[in-house]
Amino acid sequence: MSLKAVSTHFYPFPDGKDFILSEFNLEKACVVNESLDKHLFHIVWIREGSARYSVDFRSFEVGDETVFFLNPGQVFSVESEKVKTGYLISFSPDFHCVDTHSKSISCNGLLFRNIYELPYIRPNAKSSETFSRIVKDMKEEIGDRQEAYGDMLKSYLRQFLVVATRLKKTAEQGNSSPEEESEHVLARKFSELVEKHFRQAHSVAEYADMLDIAPKTLSKKLALLGKKSPLALIRERIILESKRMFVYTDMSVKEIAYDLGFQDPAYFTRFFRKAEGKSPQEFKKLMPLHVGANYAKP
């Protein structure tokens, strides 16, 4: 059953895709398999049910009260699903710019565009109640369509993201000391920089320079948080993007290598094989091609 067959609310921009709120409330848990627009941000909230989702080639098995946060361009698929109630909130970067609001809401690199952490949160009863109220307000605002209701929708979306960000930070930091909190902040800044520059900057030294710290200091601080080395994280991001491009585009291995900053396609092939245990050509044969899904380049 499609989410749109249940209840869908649009904010009426010309293309009809800037803000979409889909609600499902079914008598019996079933498969709710919705194709996600790769150019939009998505919030998938399972209130009652269970699912196993693949996000960027990693599987996550979850149950009641789970909220996923998905970026434009991520590879998302449903491996199994039994959902009874929940919501899908989709919005374009133009409707709410994660980058512009990153300082005030701090969700960029935490909820969104953080490929190194879990892509979901598990709200407690109080937070779930708050989310429910916000979604109810969204539906009413779209239904009433009074003056400046688009601004009100943006306000409600920001409220949702603020609550989710607080939950994510609490789960991530727990009872951290001030020193540990600063290390978490550094890790998020590093993650944001990798997201912005992984095509051009492939070395730890380049990111350390952007952060104004020594490469060894960056490695040490990430290690204290139990994270992988900076070089491993940079390489993971490059590999992930190459895999996305193999799935969503019909670009050749050579074209993808150049796009990702490799001057020698043969070196890229060795780089990919070392990480994945197979060549790019072998990987492409194993994955279905979704050229029509509109690859969203970060």
Residue at which a domain ends, from 141, 173, 205: 173
Distance CA 144, CA 154 (A): 15
Distance CA 259, CA 261 (A): 6
Residue, of 93 and 211, whose pLDDT is higher: 211
Residue, of 174 and 150, whose pLDDT is higher: 150
Give the domain CATH number at 233: 1.10.10.60
Whether residue 263 lies inside any domain: the answer is yes
Residues 13 and 78 occupy one common structural domain: yes
Residue 5 has pLDDT above 50, yes or no: no
- Percentage of the chain with pLDDT > 90? 54
Q: Quick one: which H or E segment has residue 91?
A: strand 76-91
pLDDT tens for 219-244 read 999 998 889 999 999 999 999 999 99
CA 240-91-133 angle, to 5 degrees, is: 120
Output the CA–CA distances (angstroms, integers) from residue 11 to 35, 93, 149, in the order listed: 19, 14, 9
8 A C-beta contact, residue 40 and residue 72: yes
Distance CA 247, CA 148 (A): 40
pLDDT tens for 12-64 read 655 556 898 989 887 666 666 667 888 889 999 999 999 999 999 999 999 99
Residues 203 and 167 occupy one common structural domain: no
Residues 7 and 38 occupy one common structural domain: yes
8 A C-beta contact, residue 67 and residue 290: no
Ranges of H-type helices in 72-203 = 102-105, 125-144, 149-173, 178-197
Give the domain CATH number at 30: 2.60.120.280
Residues 278 and 231 occupy one common structural domain: yes
Whether residue 221 lies inside any domain: the answer is yes
Whether residue 29 lies inside any domain: the answer is yes
Whether residue 247 lies inside any domain: the answer is yes
Which of 201, 193, 190 is CA-nearest to residue 227?
190
Count of domains observed in the chain: 2
Residues 133 and 203 occupy one common structural domain: no
| DSSP 8-state class, residue 174 | T
Q: What is the pLDDT of residue 17?
A: 62
Q: What is the pLDDT of residue 28?
A: 65
pLDDT tens for 116-139 read 788 999 999 999 999 999 999 999
Whether residue 298 lies inside any domain: the answer is no
Residues 48 and 120 occupy one common structural domain: yes
Residue at which a domain ends, from 145, 173, 201: 173
Collapsing DSSP to helix, strand or coil, 190 comes out as helix
Residues 107 and 215 occupy one common structural domain: no
Taking the model in full, what pTM does it have?
A: 0.83
Residues 168 and 192 occupy one common structural domain: no
Residue at which a domain ends, from 123, 141, 173: 173
**Percent composition of the chain: helix, strand, coil (DSSP 3-state, to 5):** 45, 20, 35
Residues 115 and 262 occupy one common structural domain: no
Residues 79 and 162 occupy one common structural domain: yes
Residue 258: partners with Cβ closer than 8 Å, 6 or more residues away: 265
Q: What is the pLDDT of residue 18?
A: 85
Residue 9 has pLDDT above 90, yes or no: no
Residues 201 and 287 occupy one common structural domain: yes
Structural domain including 52 reads 3-173
pLDDT tens for 271-293 read 999 999 999 999 988 877 665 45
Distance CA 168, CA 159 (A): 14
Residue 106 has pLDDT above 60, yes or no: no
Residues 116 and 226 occupy one common structural domain: no
DSSP 65-90: SEEEEE-TT--EEEEEEEEEEEEEEE
Query: Which tokens belong to 268?
Result: 């890229």
